[in-house]
Chains A and B, each alone.
Chain A
Amino acid sequence: MGPWFVELLARNGDVLQRQCVDKLPIRIGRGYGNDVILDDDYAAPSHAIVEPDPAGHLVLRDLGSRNGIVVAGKRRQDAVLAGDTVVRIGHTSLRVRAADCPVAPELVDHTLHGWEGMLPGAAGLLLTGSIALLARWLSDAEFFEPARYAEALAGGLAAALLWGGMWGFANRLFGRHARLGRHLFVFGCGITALAGWIALGSLLAYAFSAESITHYGSHLVTVLLAGIVYFHLSTIRPRNRVRYRWICAGLAVLSSSLILAGNVQRTGRFSDELYMSVLLPPAMRMSSDHGVDEFMRDVDAMKGPLDRSRGRKPGDDQIDD
C-alpha cells in the first residue's frame, strides 16, 4: 500500500508542499514529535492521526484539538480519506493519497514552444510601434518634427509594456511562467485589429454612406477588446478556454449595454455621435450624391418627431427615428 503522501494545498487546489510518509499511523500537528509538522498557529501540538480502519480505508481522527478537523465545511470527529478528500486543520488544507492513487492522463500539448519569449514579444512591440507611428502621421498637420514621432513611438511602446507586464504578472501569479512575450504579442495584434477596424469602419461608412457603422462603431470596439482579454486569459490558463469565452462574451455585452445606457443618459440617443463626421478623399466614395430637394425632405420629416418630443418632460424626449 505505502508509501503515503500528505499534500498541503493552496486554496485553488495547487500543491504547496508534499511529504512522503512510509508507515501508518501518520501523526499530524504543530509539535516536533509528529510525522507531518504543521506551521499553523491554529493547529494543536498533537492535532490528528491517520490510521487504517478495519475495512482498510484511511481514517483521519481528531486527537481532542480545540479547532478540530473540517471536511466540506463540517466539523468531524473522524473522516474517511478517499484520494480527493480535502481536510482543513486550522488554516491548513491537506489531503492524503496512497502511492497507488490514480492520476488523470497527460494533456495533449498544443503550445507552440518556439513562439515564446523574445520572438512574439518583438513582434507585438513592432505592431504597437507601427500603429502608434501611423496614428501620429495621420493626425500630423504641422511641420515635420522627429521629436513628435519619437514621443508617439515611446508612448505606444510604454503602453504595450505596461499592459503586457500587467498580464505577465497575473500569468506568473496564476500560472507558472510570466509569458510576457506572448502577452505583448496579444496586445500588438489587438491594437492592430482595433486600428484596422477604425480605418475599415470609416472607409465603409463613407464609401457606401452607411452612417450607422460609425454611429454604433464603439460596439465592435468592445467586442475586439473582449477578444484581447480572452486571448490574455487563455494564455494564462489554456485549459479554461471555454469558460473564458463565456466570461468575455458577457463582458462585451455588459460594456455595450453600458455604452448604450450612457449615450441615452447623456444625449438621448443610442448612437455614439450626432452625425458621421468622417471625411475621406473623393476617390473613396462609392455611393452617389443626392439632390438638395431630397435632403430637405429628410429635414422636413424630422418636424413631427421634434414636435412630439416638445411635449415630453426634459430627460425623456428621445427623438424617435
Chain B
Amino acid sequence: MRHFPPTRRILPALIAAAALGAAVSLAVAAGKGVAQREKPAPQPPLVIPPATPPATTPPAPGPGETDETAALPTPSSAAQTLYSAARADLLQIRMLLKNGRSQSSVGSGFLVGTGNLVLTNYHVVSQMALDPDVYIGEYVDTDGKSGPVELLAVDVLHDLAVVRVDRNGSGFFQVPERPVKLVQGQYLYSLGNPLDLGFAISEGSYNGIVTRSFYEQLIFTGPINSGMSGGPSVTAAGVVAGVNVSKRLDGELVSFLVPVRYAQELLGRVAVQPHAPKNFNPLIGQQLLAHQRALIDRLLGEPLSIRTMGPYQVPVRESQQLRCWGRSNFRAEAEFTLDAVSCAMEAAIYVSDTQQTGHVSMTHQVIRSSSLHPLQFAVLASSRFRVDSLGAGRDTRLTRPACAEMFVHTATLPVRAVTCVRAYRKFAGLYNFTLLAASTDDPNANLLSRLDLAGVSYENGMRATRAFLSALGRSHARAGSR
C-alpha cells in the first residue's frame, strides 16, 4: 500500500471544485445564450417618465459651452415693467440637506397677495414632503435675503404646493377669484430663477389647453427652464394665469403651466385647515388613490375597444391620454413576422425624482411563421415571453414582486397568464400590476400581451387585469388559419 500524505489527497478535489465552478458558469452562459440570441423587442418601460423635469438644476455649462456673443433682443417694455413690479414678491425655493445645509434642488415660487403664503410646484418641495427628517426648505428673494419655509399643503396630481415664509407680499401677484379668460396667442410672461443663474422673466404666448395629459395644463409657447418651476406666469396686466411646471425635452419652447384655478383650490384648502399636517405621506397616498380611481374608471368606463391583429383579437384603449403606436418587423431578415401595437399614457404623476406613478401602458405582439418548425417557434415565443425583471429587483420604494401564473381559457382563447404585483412601501393601498399573457392555441402563431398599471389600488388592479385578460380572443376558428 502506498501512503498518501493528506495534503496531496485534497489537490484533485480542489481541481474538481474549480472545474465544477467553471462548468456551472459555462452552462449558465450557454443556457442564457440560447434564450437571448433572439433580440427581444424593446418593451415599454413600466412607467414612462413624464415631461416634468425635476426641479434640480443641472450642472453649470463649462467655459466655451455658453454662447455669450449672441446679441440679446431688446426687451419689450411690458416685460420690463412687469419684472420691476414683481421682483419683490418673487422667490427662489431651495431644498437643503439638514445635515450640512448643502442645497439639493432649487425651484421658484411667488408670494400670493399681501399674505405670507407662497405658491410653488409640488416637485420643487417633494423632498421636504417625503423626507422631512432629511430635507428642509429655504427661500431666497431677489435681494439675496433668505429665510425658512414651512410646507402647508401639497397637490401631487396638479403638481402644486403652498409654503409659508416669514415675510409678506407686496400684493402684486393676485390669484384671481374667478378663472382667467385667456385667448390663444395672448402674451404671457413667465418668471423664475432658471438654472439657479438669477431671476429672469421670459415672454411667450398662450396656446390652449393640453388634452394629452390626465389633468388640464396650459400650453405656453415660451422658454421655461428647470429652476423656473413653481414661478408664476402672468398676463401683461399682471394677473396670474398659471404656475410654471414643465417643458417637453423633445420639442422647442413647448412648455406647460398649471392653470391658476387649481392653485385657488389649494389656497382655499390651506385657509380652512387648522394646522399643517406633520406627515405628508398619508396625504400624498390619498391623492394618488384618488388619481387611480379616476384613471381606472376612465380606462374601464366603457368596454375596451377590440382590434384584430392577425388571427387574434386584442383589447386596446385609445384616447387623448392613452396613445397607441404600431410597428412591424417586415424589413428584418427573419423567418417570422412580428406585428406590435403599444398604448401608453404620455404623462405620469411625479412623486419623487426616482418615482413616477399613476400610469397605464399596454402592449400586444403577434408573431407568426409558416416556415419555422413548431419547436423553433416555441423557443422564439418563449424568449419573447421572458421578462427578466419588473423594475429593479432591489427597489427600496416597492416590495419585491409576487406572481401568480396559470393556464387560463378566456372566452375564445387559451393563454398562459402571469400577473406580478409589487406594493408601495410608503403609500398604503397602492400597487404596481403587470399582466403578461401568451396564447397557447397555435404552434405557428403567438399573441404576447402585456398590461402595466402603476400606482393602483388592489381592487382596481384586479379589475383592469381581469378586463384586459378576458378581452383577449381569437377571431375565427383555428382550422382556417395558415
Decide if A277 touches B376 in the complex (CB within 8 Å).
Answer: no
Distance in angstroms between the alpha carbons of A282 and B374 in the assembled complex: 9
Decide if A279 touches B23 in the complex (CB within 8 Å).
Answer: no
B 376-400 binary contact with A (CB < 8 Å = 1; else 0): 1111111101110110011110011
B 446-470 binary contact with A (CB < 8 Å = 1; else 0): 1000000000001000100110011
Decide if A141 touches B336 in the complex (CB within 8 Å).
Answer: yes
Task: Give the contact stretch, choosing among A23-31, A52-60, A301-309.
Answer: A301-309
Given the interface pairs A247-B16, A255-B20, A290-B409, the reply to whether A299 lies near B421 with Cβ below 8 Å is yes
Distance in angstroms between the alpha carbons of A209 and B399 in the assembled complex: 27
- B389, chain A: closest CB distance, angstroms: 8
| 12 A–B contacts from the bound complex (CB under 8 Å) | A143-B335, A209-B406, A218-B28, A232-B16, A244-B12, A244-B16, A247-B16, A268-B393, A275-B420, A292-B408, A295-B404, A305-B402
- B419, chain A: closest CB distance, angstroms: 5
Distance in angstroms between the alpha carbons of A244 and B15 in the assembled complex: 12
A236 closest partner in B (C-beta)? B12
Q: CB of B431 within 8 A of chain A?
A: yes
Distance in angstroms between the alpha carbons of A243 and B8 in the assembled complex: 14
Decide if A251 touches B466 in the complex (CB within 8 Å).
Answer: no
Q: CB of A13 within 8 A of chain B?
A: yes
Decide if A279 touches B16 in the complex (CB within 8 Å).
Answer: no
Decide if A251 touches B400 in the complex (CB within 8 Å).
Answer: no
On chain B, the residues within 8 Å of A232 by CB distance are 16, 19
Decide if B400 touches A137 in the complex (CB within 8 Å).
Answer: no
Decide if A13 touches B3 in the complex (CB within 8 Å).
Answer: yes
Decide if A289 touches B38 in the complex (CB within 8 Å).
Answer: no
Distance in angstroms between the alpha carbons of A174 and B4 in the assembled complex: 13
Distance in angstroms between the alpha carbons of A229 and B13 in the assembled complex: 10
On chain A, the residues within 8 Å of B436 by CB distance are 275
Contacting residues of chain B (241-295) with chain A, CB-CB under 8 angstroms:
none
Distance in angstroms between the alpha carbons of A281 and B478 in the assembled complex: 14
A 230-261 binary contact with B (CB < 8 Å = 1; else 0): 00110011001001100110010001000000
On chain A, the residues within 8 Å of B334 by CB distance are 141-143
- B7, chain A: closest CB distance, angstroms: 8
A169 closest partner in B (C-beta)? B15
Task: Give the contact stretch, choosing among A38-46, A63-71, A111-119, A220-228.
Answer: A220-228
- A33, chain B: closest CB distance, angstroms: 31
Given the interface pairs A291-B408, A306-B399, A317-B399, the reply to whether A278 lies near B382 with Cβ below 8 Å is yes
Q: CB of A314 within 8 A of chain B?
A: yes
Distance in angstroms between the alpha carbons of A305 and B420 in the assembled complex: 13
Q: CB of A274 within 8 A of chain B?
A: yes
- Number of B residues, CB within 8 Å of A: 91
Q: Nearest 9 A-B pairs (CB), nearest first?
A: A289-B409, A13-B2, A277-B386, A281-B443, A298-B404, A268-B400, A281-B374, A12-B8, A314-B396
B406 closest partner in A (C-beta)? A295
Decide if B17 touches A279 in the complex (CB within 8 Å).
Answer: no
Contacting residues of chain B (1-34) with chain A, CB-CB under 8 angstroms:
1-5, 7-9, 11-13, 15-17, 19-21, 23-24, 26-28, 30-31, 34
On chain B, the residues within 8 Å of A84 by CB distance are 1, 3
Q: CB of B416 within 8 A of chain A?
A: yes
B 208-221 binary contact with A (CB < 8 Å = 1; else 0): 00000000000000
Partner of B423 from A140, A251, A306 at Cβ < 8 Å = A306
On chain A, the residues within 8 Å of B34 by CB distance are 135, 138-139
Decide if B16 touches A310 in the complex (CB within 8 Å).
Answer: no
Q: CB of A123 within 8 A of chain B?
A: no
Most buried by B among A236, A279, A283, A310: A279
Given the interface pairs A13-B4, A138-B34, A285-B440, the reply to whether A275 lies near B408 with Cβ below 8 Å is no
A276 closest partner in B (C-beta)? B405
A144 closest partner in B (C-beta)? B335
Most buried by A among B5, B15, B26, B421: B15
On chain A, the residues within 8 Å of B306 by CB distance are none
Decide if A307 touches B393 in the complex (CB within 8 Å).
Answer: no
Partner of B421 from A277, A302, A314 at Cβ < 8 Å = A302
Given the interface pairs A138-B376, A315-B394, the reply to whether A279 lies near B382 with Cβ below 8 Å is yes
